[in-house]
Amino acid sequence: MSMVFHQFRYDQKAFWRNPAAVFFTVAFPVVLLLIFATVFSGQTIEVDGGIEITAYYVPAIITLAVISATMQSLAMSLVIAREDGRLKRGRGTPMPAWVFIAGRVGNSIVVALMMLALIAVLGRILYDVPIPWSEMPAILVTLMIGAAAFSCLGIALTALIPSQDAAAPIVNALLLPLYFLSGIFIPDDELPSGVIEFANHFPIRDFFQAFFTAYLPGGGSGLDWGNLAVVAIWGVAGLLLAIRFFRWTPRSG
Amino acid sequence: MAESVISIKGLRKSYGDTEAVRGIDLEVNRGEIFAFLGPNGAGKTTTVEILEGYRKRSGGEVAVLGVDPERATRDWRQRIGIVLQSCRLDPYLTVRESLDLYAGYYARPRPVDEVIELVGLGEKANDRTGKLSGGQQRRLDVGMALVGDPELLFLDEPTTGFDPGARRQAWETIAGLRDLGKTVFLTTHYMDEAQRLADRVAILADGEVVARGRPEDLGDRGSQPTVITYHGPEGEVSLTTTTPVETLNELTGRALAEGFALEGLEVKRPSLEDVYLDLTEPTNGKVEQGAGQR
């Protein structure tokens, strides 16, 4: 277990020194929040009987930031490490495979929690969106289920990425359209119902709905067990695929 | 009686219909530097990766430190160090951090500062690995394989693509491993590297060992004719002799008596390179005279 923490510490160091990783996981969601909140400022939307657009975008962007810190970040960094030969090299040491994966997933989850704090605080300071302190248990449970599930999906996704050059295009081609269709970039009352129906087939939409419910509960516990169950099932499927198809040796060369 | 660290009997490996390794027998003893020499595609990496536990063999018996690498345990991995043929380092960690990270994987690591000195990176200890030259990265690679204080090190083509200065430094690092009492299994396609570093060599061609022995004994080099060339009064002269001591004595005696210089005098034994080319390319063995082997 102390070896997991050891691995995690160095993963953290390497993460924060990597400008591309920090930009896409930390800066990009912040920039998106600022852009959407500015472009659509003053509008209200027909959710939960009408809310400020900024109150909509804070949980939406946190959803995106969690997926970015887990699925996107893991898929990219693991493919790069695999093709560099670093994963193969690590397998030649006494370090157990699960320690390495646990360190990386731990790194992702910690970054996801930091993004929750960052976006929530920015929303509070810039747009007066209250931080729902009383809902924090539900928010954290929802975030952890989502972070774990999207970590598994990110590890599974590496099996479909043949090279370092292909990592960013494949990951973005998958995630960006789903962010749009799932109501993260465009509020879902503006989207045609067919689009939402399509997006409902993918876990980003489920996770967004669950996180939205936790962050802005319209009564109740704030835990949207229905959508969380779907997210968890996707996570388990990702885990099984990852166990079956994840590889430690370079695909190219 | 030398203790066997690696023992290979009748090793075979096929990929589909192609046989990459076709029945190899080898013993490597404790404390020696053993070079596995052969051209690209001879089966060197396949063999070494079977020994490291990365690949499964198709046939034969293999024991590395008394263990079948296909049944590698964590305890066994504590005792070996691996430098892969190509592996980039994490560019965002420093030399010291890279070694600290790996030291944490082992039960009884060697002190990191000691490893930094061993691989000659004292002045680079706090530089990120992305800023190191290719030769320095390779020495850090060796350091990361050494930090667990293994008994046996595998080095797969450790100096491929290096400039002469970087190769010389890498050689010093590798030769230093012998003084630490490590056993080293080295693959290379450079003859001079094997000659310089190895106690024993096996030459591999097309999946088979075609020669083995001490570098100086390979291919009966001792009994092959020596070529003496010089520029004398008669012009360019080239003598081929099996008794070089007598021939040289006679030649230098005549030069002194008659008062001429033996300009550009050279005495050439067949180099390991000649032997190697003969063995690995039987159809055109006499391609060129090994140029300037010292």
Q: What is the per-residue pLDDT across B18-56, written as a single tens digit (0 to 9) for each?
A: 899 999 999 999 999 999 998 888 899 999 999 999 999
Residue in chain B closest to A253 (alpha carbons) equals B86
Decide: A11 and A24 in contact? Cβ < 8 Å.
no
Q: What pLDDT is stored for residue B189 in this prediction?
A: 87
Band of residue B220 on the pLDDT scale cut at 50, 70, 90: low
Confirm or reject contact between B93 and chain A (CB < 8 A): yes
Lowest-confidence region among A83-87, A191-195, B1-5:
B1-5
User: Dihedral of CA B217/B220/B226/B227: which sign?
Assistant: negative
Residue A43 reports pLDDT greater than 90: no
Residue B1 reports pLDDT greater than 60: no
Band of residue B221 on the pLDDT scale cut at 50, 70, 90: low
Q: What pLDDT is stored for residue A195 in this prediction?
A: 92
Residues 121-150 of B with CB under 8 A from A: 128, 144, 148
Could you identify the residue written with the tokens 């200890």? Answer: B125
**Partners of B199 in beta bridges:** none
Confirm or reject contact between B36 and chain A (CB < 8 A): no
* SS3 track for A172-233: HHHHHHHHHHCCCCCCCCCCCHHHHHHHCCCHHHHHHHHHHHHHCCCCCCCCCHHHHHHHHH
- Choose among A84, A95, A249: nearest Cβ to B88: A84
Lowest-confidence region among A112-116, A139-143, B87-91, B222-226:
B222-226
CA B130 to each of CA A14, B95, B171, B177, B190: distance values in angstroms, whole numbers, following the listed order = 12, 10, 22, 26, 27
Distance from the Cα of B156 to chain A's closest Cα (Å) equals 12
The SS3 of residue B267 is strand
Q: What pLDDT is stored for residue B288 in this prediction?
A: 37
If residue B45 lies in a helix (H) or strand (E), which one and from where to where?
helix B44-51
Q: With pLDDT > 70 as the criterion, what percentage of chain B qualifies? A: 94
Higher pLDDT, B267 or A47: B267
What was the ipTM of the complex prediction?
A: 0.91
Could you identify the residue written with the tokens 């994490």? Answer: B90
Residue in chain B closest to A85 (alpha carbons) equals B87
Chain centroid to Cα B211, Å, comes to 15
Residue in chain B closest to A19 (alpha carbons) equals B92
**Strands of the B59-64 sheet, one edge to the other:** B18-29, B4-15, B59-64
Contact B92 A18 (CB under 8 A): yes
Q: What is the per-residue pLDDT across B151-194, written as a single tens digit (0 to 9) for each?
A: 999 999 988 878 888 888 889 889 988 888 899 999 998 888 98
The stretches of B94-152 forming alpha helices (DSSP H) are 95-103, 112-118, 134-146
Contact residues on chain B for A89, CB-CB shorter than 8 A: 82, 84, 87, 144
* Of residues B261, B253, B252, B269, the one with CA closest to residue B231: B261
Distance from the Cα of A94 to chain B's closest Cα (Å) equals 5
Contact B54 A249 (CB under 8 A): yes
**Partners of A26 in beta bridges:** none
Distance CA A66, CA A89 (A): 29
Contact A86 B82 (CB under 8 A): no
Distance from the Cα of B70 to chain A's closest Cα (Å) equals 12
Interface with B, mutate which of A18, A93, A164 (most B CBs under 10 A) = A93
Residue B199 reports pLDDT greater than 90: yes
* Of residues B79, B186, B209, the one with CA closest to residue B138: B186
Decide: B132 and B108 in contact? Cβ < 8 Å.
no
Could you identify the residue written with the tokens 């302190």? Answer: A133
Distance CA A158, CA A247 (A): 8
